[in-house]
Structure 1
Amino acid sequence: MELKPRLAAFDMDGTLLNKESQMTQVTKEACLKLQQQGCKLVLSTGRTFGSAQIPIDAFPFDGFVCSNGATVLESDGTMVQQTLLPNHLVADAIRALRQEVLYYEVHDTASNRWMIQEDRERLEALLNEDTSLEGISIRKFAFYKLAKIIRLQEMLEMLDDPKTEMVKLFIWHNDPELLEWVREQLAPLGSQVNITSSGRHNVELLPQGVSKWEGLQYFCSKWGIAAEEVMVFGDAENDREALTHAGYSVAMENASQEIKALANYIAPHHDEEGVARFIHERIIGGR
């Protein structure tokens, strides 16, 4: 039986993109065919809007849910919804995390990815430990090409300014035990924030009540689309709410068993053009 979603929402890393963080031509063509059949296409990602643009090569998505739902943008990049982290909590988190050598970024509504200069100087050895590790190439690209560097004192002063608009704190490390320590450090903030993950090697701090599913509600309302008409593709903890509520929930083969258990359907591995294959086999037909 062919499925008939009216809105398809795609996670990026581990889902829409291959292991080189590319949206392949085959995937683009499958998505375009789906769009031509009248289905709205929305990127639903933990990335900032700016970072999300890099691998899609101007693909004409109909909307964007970024920073795990903290920002929602129209197809032309116009911000229509944002939910901010309290600045004092970001400062508290930074002070706690600096006890260890961790890769972390603070993201704002303008897609800036801030890194503390004093901590950055401790990080290069960590990034060169294992060049084969999943996600390491993305971290290096952000570290050398995308990050905005700021001294600790300047960051704390910026966080004292009520005009500063932060939406996410992203933490990465290759040691699961250290990531558990991160969650323990952030736990006291738990009633005021949302702690999630977009992969095995990271932890993300978000505004309370924020999720990809909440972000998608803007587009459902705008286009008059019911939850049962929404298809969600995802692979990680930060896709949990969307996979739980969507009428058509699709987990990737590379997802954990826990995430797969939430889904109605399983798509092939993200590095085998799983999204494109699922679209062809279950929605539009053909190869």
Structure 2
Amino acid sequence: MHTQITSHQNPKIKRLHLLKEKSRVRKKENRFFIEGKREIILAISGGYRLEQIYYCASIISKEEVLRITETSNNQIEFFEVTSDIYQKLSHRSTTEGVLGIAFSKETSLNNLDLHTNNPLILVAESPEKPGNIGALLRTADAAKVDAFLIANPKTDIYNPNIIRSSVGCVFTNKIASGTTEEIIRFLKERKINIYGAALQSSENYYTQDYNKPTAIVVGTEDKGLTDEWLKNTTQNIKIPMSGVIDSMNVSVAAGILIFEAKRQRDFVV
């Protein structure tokens, strides 16, 4: 059944606005706002349950909406909204006509199953900018790491800006979060080598062997890794740079490091 909504004052539309704008509402309801065909398809394929879909019939047909949600394993409520309502809710200028509400997943370390005895993990400490987090998620997806861990998170992982900047990779990665202490304990209990991106007591990143269980840890661009990480790494690693500054965008650095680990693993006979 597809119900039509024509008023901005409709409680469902007000709820959509709140889920889009307020992290506290997303956490309280254990749900989040999602926009775009690709993102919805990736969320479903990543095992996320959709609660509701809202679409603008002047942009996307009901048949197309049903097609992109046909693999969902739960019942979804469908609502057709006016073009005016949709434009107020959507963020993209090149919009696709569909958005919705999905159930969040638990990101506790206790629920993380690595499914391998030789994991490759990317860890980010205290990432704050949604654009950087989105780029890190894209890097993690491209390298197909076994998990993306966030230590001391500063931003809600279901922030629409993260979903958008990650181009849906928030749904393709195994994500868990915790304090720095908790994640260090998690890695050490599983005998996972910890390589921290830092200048202090560091070796060039390409001199290390990443063929064993490995976690590559990056910090913020302005402060780097905290002392707690630096005291617990297997080895600190650095990227040699020839320019004036001694730092680069965190997602670029993470990409260089994680793909060196991938390169080594791909060439193991």
TM-score by length of 2: 0.28
Between structure 1 and structure 2, the one with the greater Rg is 2
Larger RCO, structures 1/2 (Cα 8 Å, 6+ apart): 1
Q: Give the number of the structure whose residues are more often helix, by fraction.
A: 1
